């Protein structure tokens, strides 16, 4: 098993691959991990090799693939499972079939992958995939609960069309979601103030119903909020994203809402046990006074007047001791004065200001330029990716929580 000791344990990820049709996504996952600067070490079961040849994984991981053959045929020595377990900092099983999950839950170690799992001491992530009926079966659900209770991170399956042609929940999480979970597990060793905290993030623009087909909305894409939710998750927080733009296959809880009233109710529920609230959503300030059940007809009208009434100010209404609140102020122009006034009026801990008229940033864009108003002063972040902005905001939140 020479070679395993040469690689850096801190950056090595054991990737257990089992025999599920979602295995084609594992090839992309392994490529992605390499792109993230990590060293994937692939361990496959025999069933996995009926779907994808080991050579494919060896090529994308740039390392030999470990399997039952290598375990017994001398190249790996007698203790390949122990050596493999010692060589990595995190283990991910993707796809994780019902069969392998059952073995992991009961401690059966009849192949290299499950034996390695038993010998491994670090964080383990599983990405289940199977037919919806198999997924819902009491046996599978029991096994998943057992694993979760033991600290295994069980990634949610996605809803949609399954390989068997049926519809339901059982699709494997996307390679991006799994990569994020791996990065989180690796980062969790450096635990900051957000680790273990409950964080509620809102994102997207609300839609206020005019009638059965129309609404008042705005152009918010939800990207900044998503980046913030991802960043909090990466830092080990338990995240709930309340959003009008639900992402598919997030690694954390997503509550899908439409209107300001729905968002207010969902946030009200979620913040009860939360430590941090980040209101990145573009909440409508007004909604139509009447929600017409049918469709307003044009008829002979030349004009149409809608009466609008104020919506609830979610941020202002969630103030309570022990809840660190972050607001956003998207202003038309360099109106830091307005942002400062908003921070004071809403009594919040941190306000993130951005100028929506600035070139190439803000609504819908992948980039942003922000100024953070904190209790201590103002911090400017020049134009950069929304992910980098989220990083800077999370740093400020951590400073606030620690201080």
Would you please indicate which residues are annotated as catalytic (active-site) residues? Answer: 164
Q: How far is the CB of 160 from ligand CTP (least distance, A)?
A: 31
Query: Mind giving me the DSSP string for 154-194?
Result: EPPPEEEE-TTS-EEEEEPPPHHHHHHHHHHHHHTTS--TT
Would you count residue 266 as binding ligand CTP (CB under 6 A)? no
Would you count residue 277 as binding ligand CTP (CB under 6 A)? no
Would you count residue 315 as binding ligand CTP (CB under 6 A)? yes
Q: Which of 310, 389, 311 is nearest to 350 (CA)?
A: 389
- Residue pair 169/369 in contact by the 8 Å Cβ criterion: no
Name which position in 28, 46, 269, 313 contacts ligand CTP (CB under 6 A). 313
Tokens of 137: 């079966």
Would you count residue 285 as binding ligand CTP (CB under 6 A)? yes
Would you count residue 201 as binding ligand CTP (CB under 6 A)? no
Name which position in 65, 96, 314, 387 contacts ligand CTP (CB under 6 A). 314
Would you count residue 276 as binding ligand CTP (CB under 6 A)? no
Q: Which is nearer to ligand CTP, 125 or 278 (CB)?
A: 278
Name which position in 231, 328, 343, 389 contacts ligand CTP (CB under 6 A). 328
Would you count residue 281 as binding ligand CTP (CB under 6 A)? yes
- Residue pair 279/343 in contact by the 8 Å Cβ criterion: no
Q: How far, rounded to the nearest angstrom, does the alpha carbon of residue 244 sit from its chain's CA centroid?
A: 16
- Residue pair 267/314 in contact by the 8 Å Cβ criterion: yes
Q: Which of 182, 217, 199 is nearest to 94 (CA)?
A: 182
Would you count residue 258 as binding ligand CTP (CB under 6 A)? no
Could you tell me which residues are beta bridge partners of residue 259?
none
Tokens of 83: 């050596």
Would you count residue 330 as binding ligand CTP (CB under 6 A)? yes
Q: How far is CA 137 from CA 93, 141, 150, in A?
A: 20, 6, 20
Cis peptide before 95 (omega within 30 of 0): yes
- Residue pair 185/125 in contact by the 8 Å Cβ criterion: yes
Q: Which is nearer to ligand CTP, 314 or 389 (CB)?
A: 314
What's the CA gap between 343 and 326, in Å, rounded?
9
Stretch that binds ligand CTP, among 145-153, 170-178, 214-222, 325-333 (CB under 6 A): 325-333
Would you count residue 85 as binding ligand CTP (CB under 6 A)? no
Q: Which is nearer to ligand CTP, 70 or 311 (CB)?
A: 311
Name which position in 329, 361, 372, 381 contacts ligand CTP (CB under 6 A). 329
Q: How far is the CB of 56 from ligand CTP (least distance, A)?
A: 46
Stretch that binds ligand CTP, among 42-50, 113-121, 180-188, 326-334 (CB under 6 A): 326-334
Would you count residue 13 as binding ligand CTP (CB under 6 A)? no
Pairing mode of beta strands 124-128, 153-154: parallel
- Residue pair 207/213 in contact by the 8 Å Cβ criterion: no
Stretch that binds ligand CTP, among 1-9, 45-53, 106-114, 311-319 (CB under 6 A): 311-319
Residues in touch with ligand CTP (CB under 6 A)? 260, 279, 281, 283, 285, 311, 313-315, 327-330, 342
């Amino acid at each position: 098993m020479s070679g395993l000791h040469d690689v850096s344990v801190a950056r090595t990820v054991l990737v257990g691959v089992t025999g599920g049709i979602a295995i084609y996504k594992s090839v992309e996952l392994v490529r992605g991990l390499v792109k993230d600067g990590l060293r994937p070490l692939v361990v496959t079961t025999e069933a996995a090799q009926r779907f994808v040849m080991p050579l494919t994984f060896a090529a994308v991981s740039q390392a030999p693939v470990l399997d039952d053959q290598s375990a017994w045929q001398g190249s790996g020595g007698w203790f390949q499972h122990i050596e493999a377990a010692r060589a990595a900092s995190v283990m991910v099983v993707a796809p994780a079939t019902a069969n392998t999950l059952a073995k992991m839950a009961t401690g059966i170690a009849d192949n290299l992958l499950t034996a390695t799992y038993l010998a491994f001491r670090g964080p383990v992530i599983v990405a289940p995939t199977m037919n919806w009926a198999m997924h819902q079966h009491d046996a599978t659900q029991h096994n998943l609960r057992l694993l979760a209770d033991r600290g295994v991170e069980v990634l949610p399956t996605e809803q949609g069309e399954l390989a068997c042609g049926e519809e339901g929940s059982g699709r494997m999480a996307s390679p991006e979601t799994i990569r994020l979970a791996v990065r989180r597990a690796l980062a969790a060793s450096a635990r900051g103030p957000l680790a273990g905290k409950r964080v509620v993030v809102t994102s997207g623009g609300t839609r206020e119903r005019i009638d059965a087909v129309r609404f008042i909305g705005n152009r918010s894409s939800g990207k900044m909020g998503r980046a913030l939710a991802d960043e909090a998750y990466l830092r080990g927080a338990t995240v709930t994203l309340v959003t009008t733009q639900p992402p598919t296959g997030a690694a954390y809880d997503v509550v899908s809402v439409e209107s300001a009233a729905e968002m207010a109710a969902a946030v009200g529920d979620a913040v009860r046990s939360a430590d941090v609230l980040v209101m990145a959503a573009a909440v409508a300030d007004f909604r139509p006074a009447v929600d017409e059940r049918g469709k307003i007809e044009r008829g002979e009208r030349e004009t149409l007047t809608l009466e609008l009434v104020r919506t609830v100010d979610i941020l202002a209404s969630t103030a309570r001791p022990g809840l660190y609140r972050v607001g956003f102020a998207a202003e038309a122009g360099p109106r830091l004065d307005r942002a400062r006034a908003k921070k004071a009026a809403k009594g919040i801990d941190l306000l993130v200001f951005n100028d929506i008229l600035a070139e190439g940033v803000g609504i819908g864009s992948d980039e942003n330029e922000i100024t953070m108003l904190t209790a201590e002063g103002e911090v400017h972040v020049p134009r950069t990716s929304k992910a980098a902005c989220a990083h800077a905001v999370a740093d400020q939140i951590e400073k606030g929580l620690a201080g």
